[in-house]
Structure 1
C-alpha cells in the first residue's frame, strides 16, 4: 500500500484538529471562570514542565512502538480537554486540562513529523518534507481562521460555552480519522529496515548526536527561544486586544488575519532556505522579534496590532526551517526521539521565561510581560552571534 495515503489523511486530520472555535475566546472564557493572567501563567508553566518530563520518553515510545499509537493518544487527550473545560470552574480543573494538553502535545510533537517524513521516505519523496509540512501548516492556518471567524461570531451572540461543545465535536472527528493512519516502516540511513534501539541507549545516543552536530544544536536552540516567545503572542493576544478596548466580535477577524500572515512563510520556507543561510535568517528573525516585542510593550495603541501581525508573518517561516534542518540530518530509527528535543527545549524555555512574564504582567499588565520577552530575545541574540562566529560553513 502506498503510504502517500497517510499524507492525504494527515491533511484532513490537521484540518479538524485545528477547527477549534474555543481558541478565539479562550482567555476571556478562562477569565470569566476566574482565571487571572498570573494563574494562566502558572497553568502554562504546568504545561511546560509536563512537556519537559514527557517529550523524550514519548519520542522513544513513538520510535519503538509506533508513531500512530502516540498520535491516537494525542487525539484522545484533545477530546478530554474540551469535555473538562465545559464544566471547569476551579484552578485545578484548568491545571488538569493543561496537563492533558501537555501529554497530548508530547505524544504528537515528535511522532507527527516522524510519521510524515517516513511516509515520504518510503515513497522516495523525502526531499518534499518542507513543502508538505508547510502545506500542512497552511491548512492548519486556514482551519484556525475559519474557527476564529465562526467562534467570535458565535461568542458575540451566545454564551462562550457553545464554542467548547463545537470544539469537542471537531476533536472527536480528528480522533476517528487518526485511527485510520498506516504505520510506516522504520528505516536507517541506508534505507534498510532497522531494529529498534534499546531504550537505555536512547539518551546517550541522542546527546552524542547534538554534541557532534553543533550546527543542529544552535538552530534548535534558536527555534526553542523564538518559538517560546511567539507562544506568548498566541496565548495572550486576546488579553492585549481586550486592554485596547476592542470588542470580542472583532477577535475572529484579528485571529484570522494573524494566521493568514503565517501562510506565506509556511508555503515558501522550502524556497527561502535555498537562497539565504540559516545564520542570516535566524539572526534577522531574532532581531526583528526583539524589536517588535519592545514596540508593543512601549507603544500601547492600535499600531501594536500591525506589529503583532509582523511577528506572525515571521513566525510562519521559522518552524518548517528548524524542523527540516533536524530531520534531514537524522536516521528514522530515532527521528521522533530527536524531534522531541525541540519541543522539550521550547517548553523548558517557555517555563523559565513564563516566570518573568508572569511577574512583569502582574506588576505592569500584559505590556510589561512583552517587554520582558524583548529583553530575553536580545540577550539570546548576543549569545547566538558569539556562538556562530566563524561557523558560517555549518549554518
Structure 2
C-alpha cells in the first residue's frame, strides 16, 4: 500500500491541465494531447502485460516509474505542445506497464505464501490508498507551485516517480518456470486464453464493464457546479465523494465473501442512486453520488479479485491487461452516456450491465 500511495503522490496530477492552458495551449490542443495519451494506452496495454509476463512484473513496474519520471522531465524542460505530446506518449506506455503487472505481482506474491485468498482485501486497501492520497497530493501541489511554479512541481513529480520505481525494486517476485515462449507467443497465448475459456472471457467482460464506470469520476466537479456549489468549494465537495469511494474500496475485501446476488444488488443500487440525482435537489444529490460511488468501488474491488481467481496460467499480467484494454474501450460508453443524458444516463448504463456483471462474477462451484 505504501508503494501505491507513493505512486499517486505526484504533484503534477492535479495541475497538469492548468499547466497546458497557462503555457498557451488551446482547448483543442489539450484535447489532442489527451487523445494521444488514450490511444497510446490502448495500443500498448496488452503488449505491456505480455512483456511483464515474459520478462518480469517487478521489472515492468520499475521501468514504468523511470518512464513516467522521464515524461515529466520532458514537460519541465520543454513546456510546449511537442514536449507535452512526447511526454504523454511515454506516460501512456508507463501506465500500460503498471496496469497488468501490479495485480499479477501482488496475487502471485500472496499465492507464494499461501495467502491468495487475501487478494481482495489487499487490493481494496491499495485502491483506497490511491484515493486517499489525493488529499496530500493536492496540498503538496499547492505548496510547491507557490514556492517554485510549474518547474518545481515538475521536477518534484519526476523525483517521486523515481522514488516509487526504486521502491518497486524491493518487491519479491516469485520464480516462474520458463515456458520457452517468445514475447509474441506470450501475447498470443494470453489473448487466446482470454477468448477461448468461457468463464474467463465472461469475467474479463464483467471487469471491463465495471471498471469503465470509474470514468464518471471525471464529471464530479461538473456535477458539483451544476448543483450550485460555488467554484471555491467544488474541490472540497469532490473530496467528500472521493473519501466515500475510498471507504467503499477498503470494504471490498470483506464484500468478497458476500453472496453473488448481493454484489449485483450493490451495483444495481449504485446505478439507481445515480439515476435518482435527477429528482433530488441541491447538495442531497451529491450525497447520493457519494454513496453510489462507494457502493460501486466495493463491487470493483471484488470484480478484480474474481478475475485473478479465474486466471490459471503464467500469463496473468497479459490477461489482466486484456481486461484493462476492455475497460479503456468500455469507458467510451460512459462518456457517450454522459453526453446524451448526464449522470442519469450513466445510472441507466450501470443498471443495464448488472446481468452481465452478475454472470461474470459468479463464483465457480468447488469441484
TM-score normalized by the length of structure 1: 0.76
**Closer, same or farther: CA 335–246 of 1 in aligned 2, 3 Å:** same
Q: Distance in 2 between matches of 1:105 and 1:127?
A: 27
Match of 1:259 in 2: 242
Query: Which of 272, 279, 302 is equivalent to 1:321?
Result: 302
**Closer, same or farther: CA 384–260 of 1 in aligned 2, 3 Å:** closer
Q: Distance in 2 between matches of 1:83 and 1:304?
A: 41
Judge conservation of contact 1:197–1:333 (CA < 8 Å) in 2: no
Match of 1:100 in 2: 90
Q: Distance in 2 between matches of 1:106 and 1:87?
A: 24
**Closer, same or farther: CA 137–353 of 1 in aligned 2, 3 Å:** closer
RMSD: 3.7
Match of 1:230 in 2: 214
| Long gaps (5+) in structure 2 | none
Match of 1:56 in 2: 46
What does 1:119-130 align with in structure 2 at a 5 Å threshold?
119-130=109-120
Judge conservation of contact 1:286–1:378 (CA < 8 Å) in 2: no
Q: Distance in 1 between matches of 2:64 and 2:100?
A: 11
SS of the equivalent of 1:23 reads: coil
**Closer, same or farther: CA 216–41 of 1 in aligned 2, 3 Å:** farther
Q: Distance in 2 between matches of 1:390 and 1:131?
A: 20
Q: Distance in 1 between matches of 2:265 and 2:191?
A: 25
**Closer, same or farther: CA 385–326 of 1 in aligned 2, 3 Å:** closer
Report the count of equivalent residues: 364
SS of the equivalent of 1:184 reads: coil
- 1:349 pairs with 2:339: no
Match of 1:131 in 2: 121
Judge conservation of contact 1:21–1:166 (CA < 8 Å) in 2: yes
**Closer, same or farther: CA 387–247 of 1 in aligned 2, 3 Å:** closer
| Long gaps (5+) in structure 1 | 1-10, 187-192, 358-367
Match of 1:76 in 2: 66
Query: Which of 329, 333, 337 is equivalent to 2:314?
Result: 333
SS of the equivalent of 1:261 reads: helix
Per mean C-alpha deviation after superposition, the further-off stretch among 383-392 and 287-296 is 383-392
SS of the equivalent of 2:175 reads: coil
Judge conservation of contact 1:52–1:345 (CA < 8 Å) in 2: no
Deviation at 1:340, TM superposition (A): 0.7
**Closer, same or farther: CA 200–157 of 1 in aligned 2, 3 Å:** closer
**Closer, same or farther: CA 224–294 of 1 in aligned 2, 3 Å:** farther
Deviation at 1:56, TM superposition (A): 1.5
**Closer, same or farther: CA 211–83 of 1 in aligned 2, 3 Å:** closer
Judge conservation of contact 1:135–1:267 (CA < 8 Å) in 2: yes
Deviation at 1:75, TM superposition (A): 0.4
Per mean C-alpha deviation after superposition, the further-off stretch among 17-26 and 325-334 is 17-26
- 1:285 pairs with 2:267: yes
Judge conservation of contact 1:68–1:178 (CA < 8 Å) in 2: yes
Judge conservation of contact 1:216–1:325 (CA < 8 Å) in 2: no
Match of 2:345 in 1: 375
Match of 1:363 in 2: none
Judge conservation of contact 2:270–2:347 (CA < 8 Å) in 1: no
What does 1:169-180 align with in structure 2 at a 5 Å threshold?
169-180=159-170
Deviation at 1:176, TM superposition (A): 2.3
**Closer, same or farther: CA 23–392 of 1 in aligned 2, 3 Å:** closer
Judge conservation of contact 2:52–2:59 (CA < 8 Å) in 1: yes
TM-score normalized by the length of structure 2: 0.81
**Closer, same or farther: CA 162–236 of 1 in aligned 2, 3 Å:** farther
Q: Distance in 2 between matches of 1:178 and 1:310?
A: 34
**Closer, same or farther: CA 32–251 of 1 in aligned 2, 3 Å:** farther
Q: Distance in 2 between matches of 1:135 and 1:31?
A: 35
Q: Distance in 1 between matches of 2:105 and 2:360?
A: 36
Judge conservation of contact 2:63–2:94 (CA < 8 Å) in 1: yes
Q: Distance in 2 between matches of 1:208 and 1:293?
A: 38
| CA shift digits 1:37-78 (9 cap, x unpaired) | 665454333333222221221111111111122111210122
